[in-house]
Chains A and B, each alone.
Chain A
Amino acid sequence: MSEQEELLKKQKENCIFCRINAGEMPAKKVYEDERMLAILDIRPAAKGHTLVLPREHYPIMPLLPPEEFTHLFGRTAALTKAIKEATLSQRATVFIANGPVAGQQSPHFLFHVIPREEGDGLFTIPDKGVNQSDIEPLLKTNLFSVMREHLMKVNRLHLLQMGEAISDEEAAMAERRSAAMDAASARTQEVPVAPQAPPAQAPSPQQLAQIIEQNPDIKQLLLERPDELERIVREKPEFQQLFAGVDIAKLSAFLKSGGQMQAARPEQAPATQPPAQPAPPTQQRMTPRDAPGEEASTEDIKPAAQMTMQELFAYIESKPKLKAYLLQAPEKLKELIPQHPRLSKFFEGANVDAIISAYRAHEEGSAGETTERTMEGGS
């Protein structure tokens, strides 16, 4: 048993709320269920003053596991209503103290629900007019990113589509910040190539398929309201990233016709057809022999679709010509793919547009390497 566990065990043994929970100490219980208890405070600020606590002993609020947190605070609204009705109060205050300085007295996390009366003088929050502009960035950056992560985990990311209330610039700014942070952390992980590292930017078709499967809201939109989804994608940067280069109408039709997501290949169809337009003059410089796939052998080519983002980026880094095409002439590249066995094999089953936009975003994020240099490498 670790030192921490031992400490917690000792704390529990001496905890009156654990003893109340175990029925070893009396208390006026007003509500209980499988996870929580509500009892009257014996030193009440008002009649009906109730303590609400999880049955399990957690020393502080951040240690509550998500399912306990959701249960406890999910029921707080209805419990507060019951307390107000019972005491004929118009208002109640929920009071939570984290740390002794803030008034936390029990090592068993709990909070207070206190019925309020006009003029009871409780919990007056003074308006001291403290200027807080210096901590605006701290809150803005961190609150957005933790909430985004949280909403992603609980599958409610749609709550972040704020519509009219937040300006698009503000949303885009927040998104850029978070994307920059993702990219920065991805870069630090990159040094020893870690194949399982998460994608920094646009997902591969497989990842997109997975994301869609995990988000019934998105899937439903895709199936039933592709036009609405297109609108959202146009307006929200995080969705733009997710659906980079994807033809939503096509994908929707494909899914509706019973297509499997991991085979999200309708976008790929053009690549299997010869380019309709005559090759523009610049292509003269890049004749088929110059192109990345000069040898006919495709033995050594691993398809991009089977690579992780990290592997893919590393591979592109090692192929200056491919890199130049990706960054400078993606349309040409798409025309070249069906003409070259090696390129065809490399892009087989992959969403070319997603790879292009992902790699471009990756490049923009990485410092020190200018596009001029990559062009030199390619010619």
Chain B
Amino acid sequence: MKVYEDRIVTARLPPGAAHGHVLIEPRGKEQLQELSEEESAHVFVVASYAAAILFQGLQAAGTNIIVNERPLQLHVIARAEDDGLDFTWKPKELDEGSMSDAEEKIKDRAFYVGKAAPEVPVTESSAPEEQPEENYLLKHLLKNV
């Protein structure tokens, strides 16, 4: 049951995990990183509005938005006391070394978030990482011909 769509997403009511479960699927995307900044904001706008409609329209006690990848899906789920759903986790015991390691590694890679360089702008292609390498190689080869 399709309930909304535009050029970036479709939204439907799947056989639900709850009464009030909207599934939003960005068109042709497997992972969040394939979305441009604008598209990324857009899919969360749709999810946020869907959550607000479930909250107000169904008098839900709360809502969850859960985004999973491969394929990219945003689940918006109305919640109630004792609804039998459990999205909690048991915290992992990570030592200081492991936490610092994660901190350093993420920090390094997050440095370019929101900055233009040197990330290749994410395009329609589902394999943006390979592209520059190939193009460069191709250029190089052509140059040497």
Enumerate chain A interface residues (CB-CB to B < 8 A).
Answer: 28-31, 33, 38, 40, 43-48, 50, 61-62, 69-71, 73-87, 90-104, 111, 116, 122-123, 125-133, 135-136, 138-140, 142-144, 146-147, 150-151, 158-163, 165-166, 170
Contacts and interface: CB of A to CB of B under 8 A. Distances in A.
A33 B107 CA distance: 12
A93 B87 CA distance: 12
A50 B102 CA distance: 10
Given A77-B33, A78-B119, A97 B13 contact: no
21 contacts: A31-B107, A40-B103, A44-B91, A75-B37, A78-B119, A80-B31, A86-B102, A87-B105, A90-B69, A93-B68, A94-B67, A95-B66, A98-B65, A101-B81, A102-B79, A125-B75, A131-B16, A135-B13, A138-B53, A143-B50, A147-B49
**Max chain B C-beta neighbours (<10 A), residue from A92, A100, A102, A142:** A102
A173 B6 CA distance: 15
A181 B79 CA distance: 29
B79 to A, nearest CB: 4
Q: Is the interface of B mostly helix, strand, loop or mixed?
A: mixed
Contacts of B63: 98-99, 102
Nearest to A43: B91
* Nearest 8 A/B pairs, CB to CB: A99-B62, A102-B62, A130-B16, A86-B105, A81-B33, A43-B91, A77-B40, A82-B109
Contacts, number: 266
B40 A129 contact: no
Given A123-B66, A165-B10, A147 B110 contact: no
A130 B17 contact: yes
A160 B64 contact: no
B110 to A, nearest CB: 4
Contacts of B37: 74-75, 77-78
**Max chain B C-beta neighbours (<10 A), residue from A91, A98, A138, A166:** A98
